[in-house]
Amino acid sequence: MPVEIDIEHVARLARLALTPEELERFREQLGVILEHAERVTEVAAEAVPATAHPIPMANVFRPDEPRDGLGRDEALANAPDREGDFFKVPPIVEEPE
Amino acid sequence: MTAYETVIGLECHVELSTKTKMFCSCRNEFGAEPNTLVCPICLGHPGTLPVPNERAVEHTITIGLALGSEIAPTSLFHRKNYFYPDMPKNYQISQYDLPLCVGGALEVEVDGEPRRVGITRVHLEEDTGKTTHAGATGRIAGADYALEDFNRAGVPLVEVVSEPDLRSPAEARAYLVALRGLLRSLGVSDVKMEEGSLRCDANVSVRPEGHEELGTKVEIKNMNSIRSVERALAFEAERQRAALDAGETLVQETRHWDEDQGETSSMRSKEEAFDYRYFPDPDLSPLEPEAERVDRLRSELPELPAARRARLESELGVPAAQAAQVVEQGWDRFLREAVAAGADAKGAANWMTGDLAALLNEAGIELGQAKVSPKHLADLVRLVADGTISTAGAKQVLAEMFASGADAEAVVEERGLAQISDESALGAIVDEVIADNPDPVEQFRGGKEGVIGFLVGQVMQRSKGAANPQEAQRLLRERLAR
Amino acid sequence: MTELCDLTGHELAGKLRAGEVSAVDGVESSLSRIEATEPSLHAFLARSADLAREQARAVDDRLAAGDDLPPVAGIPLALKDVLTTRGITTTCGSRILETYVPPYDSTVWARLREAGSVLVGKTNCDEFAMGSSNENSAFGPVHNAWDLDRVPGGSSGGSAAAVAAGQAVWALGTDTGGSVRQPAALSGVVGMKPTYGRPSRYGLIAFASSLDTVSTFTRDVRDAATLLSAIVGHDPLDATSIQRPAEDYTEGLEQGVDGLRIGVLRDWLGEGVEPGVRDRVEEAIQRLEGLGAKIGEATLPHADYALSAYYLIAPAECSSNLARYDGVRYGHRAEGANVVEMMMRTRGEGFGDEVKRRIMLGTYALSAGYYEAYYGQAQKVRTLVLRDFEAAWQEFDLLLSPTSPTVAFPLGAKADDPLAMYLSDVYTIPANLAGVPAVSVPCGLDDQGLPVGLQLMGRALDEATVLRAAYAFEQDLGFDARPPLLEGIAS
Ligand SMILES: [Mg+2]
Ligand SMILES: [Zn+2]
């Protein structure tokens, strides 16, 4: 059975503005894909550790030595909008986390 | 009326004073021009990758060791996913269920009584950039647009979470003072609340006294000084008590502290509950602090504040309150050097925590940047002790030394601040005062002992403050007794 | 007639060193092939003719001065447009990055550039490398050089087509679930995916971080060894980069397969595999046996679940990796009354359907209440797949299978059925989950004249054995068919 998901909630979490047509199409498609993906739950794997990386490593570090970054102009070169030396964005209506 | 108990837990964010950011080699500095301390990595450009700063990891372990935490054998960086324009990747690299340091406690002194405040965890993450809300009000509500500066984005940030062990705003203050002193003594952070290198959120609830179960928890944000933490907590605890007394139900929420209004207010309710979708960052591998590394960091731990305070008290006889302040500010070495240069410890500590602290505060500098040396201070204390200068004169000498870096003796000389103790010079002034004040003199002779103070004052006035007051009083008594 | 751009890299390098031709000649040959075939193929999103000529001249100058140059010097190269190139627009085949000019070079390109490699352009691909047909490019599909009505495979379809048609002598792509091996198979070229972490991912615009691997397209196996050798080796800018220096994979290439134990994944030659594919692969098995390889039957028991696990892990990572495209610092921005609206519209307009599907799939799989069941469980399945490989290596040195169950399919055939498209990667995904090296080498044409690819997988960091077997097979087969498209091009 296709999985039922709250597509509007997911689209909002993912910050995607979607049309009603898109919402409906994606709801159906994701339901089918998830039904297939859910097969992973059939595998008995309680005692199996998770693999995050195929080649395990640990303690990979960088020395605390400064290097020059981008110049201000290069940093702002791709900015869709700027004011002075700042990136400019529309007003924020929500407090941060 | 029900009596309530306040329950407080604090979450402190501490910016580490490393040379570079957490995951890139940009300089970690405060106060640079906007967007000048950035690179493709901390701007979240496509294709860039984080590589952890080894020193930041070690600083975090050091903090954990100083708090008596257990250093986790395996620890992970997770991604905390949420969208905000000052967060370049729209996720924060943070730690979740496997922080670097677990448990521990901080020794705190409240009204001279020691208290142990439990530490839940200490973890490492990256800071966000800085948003300026531009337009009419400068606040979030009603702003026309926002400006982003990413210099701070990616600065290493340590989060220290306390247990809900604090029972009053005063205890919260004591905790913050102790934490700040500890971090300063470890040399891992500037811990300046005004520059944002120490930030604090609080969880507050109240419960009827004697109850085990915790009340509804409210989180308070936007407190920018230790004083504002104390004020905000006092306001919030009172608000909760009043609400409960009025029969209202409290809601679990986040509230914003308004420094100017002196009150907390509910933050706009979110359109969605936060769902951070934590998962292990696939760009990073686990941290597995090796025993040798942890042992080395432990052996490098400096003497911790509690021990330093105790030693100042026992070895030098510095009073507890002053010892605490000296240690909190990290001034022990200066004090010990002043003592080595001949100063009386009590006197030196008194000058440091009083006038010198005020001068530093006024100038907005650290002791290390000041022109006054331990030798200067030692000279000052000695000159007061041997009666060469009065306390009033000493204040002037200190101010001048602070301003110019001149020697104490040179200032005394130049300004003519040496006290007149010489019997012939002082005797002439005393004789004048006796001759010019017949009525008070009669009263004193008639047994009105208190009048002597007035007469000494007259001597001081005539000598323009240069007279040694003890010597003046001795001479007055001697001559009036004849 | 064979032109310089039809030579392999090692052949062209030989002529350069012998002074028979110049690097500029080689580049001009590639550039004119691009002019001639690009209207049919649409393999490129950006061309860098001026830069290529400049780099070629520099190589010629150094050759004239008698410098000893690396084997990649002067050879025309194409880069998939998910690899950053400083100053050259890098779009990932997406509207959201249509105007993005990276301020830095990817490590693999920096190494090749240093070594004298000559960049002719950035190749078309499925948007953010998500797809198996190249039809998900925001800038239009790539056509298969063997049949212009068919897909070249994906997501690195542009690189595959470019190498198949001689537009570049070789190219880099990225392989996350088969995105180099599958298009290599469908386009009749060699696609080599090394061990995860062997080439740096710095500057590889992330799709799924724990799977993405820079990989090569070449016209023969020796070139794969040569090009791969130039890009591997530890990179301090990538914390998942394996801490080993580069190695020269051309050494030992000719040692043959005598005595090598090759396990055939029989389960992958049954139902669902096109007969033309099955026939060529069966012949390949016999050929290898004839060359002295010891053939046995192998299984990867959890491979059936690998695809499901992949379609949870890759979207989960992608949903987070692609969060940064928000219209604040670079790329497309839509209007919005407030920042949330701006971000939502930017992303709604900027991303195509497949990217949106995967972002939502991943967002869902990571969200509260589903993490353990989906992402957590998928990572456990990944462990089981790794253990399957470990068990197989007890018996075998290599595992063999078709690269793809089908040959190149017609454009549009699977466009409306995402799940059917996902199944194209069913044989390539296990090597990504396990991080092991794998190659797709041409093993002939089916009866429609479309290329078939043979996949060989090896132990982690044992690229040498994978390449050595592929080389022995290739030399013995002598596959020399050329895409019909090229027959019409008079030089
Ligand atoms: Mg935090
Ligand atoms: Zn940076």
In order, the DSSP letters of B376-439 are: HHHHHHHHHHTTSS-HHHHHHHHHHHHHH---HHHHHHHHT---B--HHHHHHHHHHHHHH-HH
- Is residue C80 among the annotated active site residues? yes
Residue B97 contacts A where some CB pair is shorter than 8 Å = no
Element of type H or E holding B257: strand B253-258
Q: For strands B218-223 and B253-258, give the pairing.
A: parallel
In sequence order, what are the residues at sequence separation of 6 or more whose Cβ sits closer than 8 angstroms to the Cβ of residue C177? C208, C211, C310, C314, C425, C428, C429, C432
Dist. CA B426–CA B423, nearest whole Å: 5
Dist. CA C329–CA A82, nearest whole Å: 9
Largest CA distance in chain A: 58
Residue B2's pLDDT is what? 82
Q: Report helix, strand and coil shares of chain B as percent, to nearest 5.
A: 40, 20, 40
Q: How many CB atoms lie within 10 A of CB B464?
A: 9
The pair of three-digit structure tokens given for residue C101, joined into one six-digit string: 């000019």
Neighbours of chain A (3+ CB pairs under 8 A): B, C
- Half-sphere exposure of residue C98: CA atoms within 13 angstroms, side-chain side: 13
**How distant is the Cα of C356 from the closest Cα of chain A, in angstroms?**
8
Strands (E), C186-257: 190-193, 213-218
Q: Residue B33 Cα, ligand 1 centroid: separation in angstroms?
A: 26
Q: Any bridge partners for residue B71, and if so which?
A: B101
In sequence order, what are the residues at sequence separation of 6 or more whose Cβ sits closer than 8 angstroms to the Cβ of residue C246? C229, C230, C232, C233
Residue C478, judged by CB atoms within 10 A of its CB (0-12, 13-18, 19+), counts as exposed
Indicate left, alpha or beta for B154 from its phi (over 0: left) and psi (-120 to 50: alpha). Answer: left
The pair of three-digit structure tokens given for residue A63, joined into one six-digit string: 């020395």
In sequence order, what are the residues at sequence separation of 6 or more whose Cβ sits closer than 8 angstroms to the Cβ of residue C325? B46, C96, C97, C331, C332, C346, C347, C350, C351
Residue B57's pLDDT is what? 98
Residues of chain B with pLDDT under 70: 1, 136-141, 268-273, 482
The pair of three-digit structure tokens given for residue B210, joined into one six-digit string: 């004697």
Please name the member of C204, C210, C339 whose beta carbon is closest to the beta carbon of B47: C204
Dist. CA C400–CA C263, nearest whole Å: 6
The pair of three-digit structure tokens given for residue A71, joined into one six-digit string: 């110049």
Which residue from B6, B39, B427 is spatially nearest to B237, judged by alpha carbons? B6
Q: How many residues does chain A have?
A: 97
The secondary structure of C147-170 as a DSSP string is BTTB---SSSHHHHHHHHTTSSSE
Residue B193's pLDDT is what? 86
Please name the member of C84, C209, C320 whose beta carbon is closest to the beta carbon of B81: C320
Which residue from B225, B115, B181 is spatially nearest to B324, judged by alpha carbons? B181
Strands (E), C225-343: 261-265, 294-298
Q: Residue B197 Cα, ligand 2 centroid: separation in angstroms?
A: 18
Q: Which band of pLDDT confidence, cut at 50, 70 and 90, is reported for residue C1?
A: low
Q: For strands B279-280 and C44-47, give the pairing.
A: unpaired
Residue B474 contacts A where some CB pair is shorter than 8 Å = no
- List the shell of residues around ion ligand 2, using CB closer than 5 Å: B 24, 26, 39, 41-42
- List the shell of residues around ion ligand 1, using CB closer than 5 Å: B 159
Q: Residue A41 Cα, ligand 1 centroid: separation in angstroms?
A: 33
pLDDT tens per residue across span C56-70: 999 999 999 999 999
With vertex at residue C448, the alpha carbon angle to CA C443 and CA C453, rounded to the nearest 5 degrees, is: 20
Dist. CA A19–CA A10, nearest whole Å: 14
**Among the options C22, C94, C106, C179, which is catalytic?**
C179
The answer to whether C324 and C343 are in contact (CB under 8 A) is no
Residue B139's pLDDT is what? 62
Residue C212 contacts B where some CB pair is shorter than 8 Å = no
- Half-sphere exposure of residue C132: CA atoms within 13 angstroms, side-chain side: 30
Residue B136's pLDDT is what? 66
- Is residue C179 among the annotated active site residues? yes
**How distant is the Cα of B129 from the closest Cα of chain A, in angstroms?**
11
C179: preceding bond cis by omega (within 30 degrees): no
Compare all CA atoms of chain A with the CA of B269 and give the residue at the minimum distance: A94
Which residue from C347, A75, C207 is spatially nearest to B153, judged by alpha carbons? A75
Which residue from C130, C165, C146 is spatially nearest to C3, judged by alpha carbons? C165
The pair of three-digit structure tokens given for residue A93, joined into one six-digit string: 């209506």
pLDDT tens per residue across span C444-483: 999 999 999 999 999 999 999 999 999 999 999 999 999 9
State whether C340 and A15 contact (CB < 8 Å): yes
The answer to whether B385 and B347 are in contact (CB under 8 A) is yes
The structure tokens 């700042």 sit at A86
Compare all CA atoms of chain A with the CA of B27 and give the residue at the minimum distance: A66
- Half-sphere exposure of residue C171: CA atoms within 13 angstroms, side-chain side: 40
On the question of pLDDT at C329 being above 50, the answer is yes
**What burial letters (b/e) apply to B230-269, b meaning 16+ CB within 10 Å?**
bbbbbbbbebbbeebeeeeeeeeebbbbeeeeeebeebee
The answer to whether C298 and C392 are in contact (CB under 8 A) is yes
In sequence order, what are the residues at sequence separation of 6 or more whose Cβ sits closer than 8 angstroms to the Cβ of residue B418? B388, B389, B412, B466
Which residue from A36, A10, A38, A35 is spatially nearest to A23, judged by alpha carbons? A10
Dist. CA B429–CA B437, nearest whole Å: 12
Please name the member of B45, B85, B282 whose beta carbon is closest to the beta carbon of C317: B282
The secondary structure of B114-125 as a DSSP string is EEEEEEEEEEEE
With vertex at residue B170, the alpha carbon angle to CA B253 and CA B265, rounded to the nearest 5 degrees, is: 25
The answer to whether C9 and C170 are in contact (CB under 8 A) is yes
Q: Residue B36 Cα, ligand 2 centroid: separation in angstroms?
A: 10
Which residue from C383, C427, C402 is spatially nearest to C210, judged by alpha carbons? C383
Residue B148's pLDDT is what? 98
C117 alpha-carbon distance from chain centroid: 18
State whether C434 and A54 contact (CB < 8 Å): yes
Element of type H or E holding C321: helix C303-321
Residue C299 in 3-state DSSP? coil
When mean pLDDT is compared across B260-274, C133-147, C370-384, the lowest value belongs to B260-274
State whether C311 and A37 contact (CB < 8 Å): yes
Mean pLDDT of the C75-92 span: 98
C433 contact residues in B (CB cutoff 8 A): none
C-alpha torsion sign, points B409, B415, B417, B423: positive
Dist. CA B191–CA B189, nearest whole Å: 5
Residue C475, judged by CB atoms within 10 A of its CB (0-12, 13-18, 19+), counts as middle
Residue C308 contacts A where some CB pair is shorter than 8 Å = yes
The answer to whether C173 and C160 are in contact (CB under 8 A) is yes
Residue C134, judged by CB atoms within 10 A of its CB (0-12, 13-18, 19+), counts as buried
Which residue from B184, B260, B150 is spatially nearest to B15, judged by alpha carbons? B184
The structure tokens 């791709």 sit at A78
State whether A89 and C328 contact (CB < 8 Å): yes
The pair of three-digit structure tokens given for residue C437, joined into one six-digit string: 């090296």
**What burial letters (b/e) apply to B383-398, b meaning 16+ CB within 10 Å?**
bbeeebbbeebbbbbb
Q: Which band of pLDDT confidence, cut at 50, 70 and 90, is reported for residue C491?
A: very low
Mean pLDDT value across chain C: 96
Compare all CA atoms of chain A with the CA of B40 and give the residue at the minimum distance: A70
Question: Quick one: which ligand is closest to B125's CA?
Answer: 1
Dist. CA B117–CA B398, nearest whole Å: 39
**Which residues of chain C from 250 to 289 reach within 8 Å of chain A, CB to CB?**
none
Question: Quick one: which ligand is closest to B278's CA?
Answer: 1
State whether B44 and C329 contact (CB < 8 Å): yes
Dist. CA B306–CA B301, nearest whole Å: 13
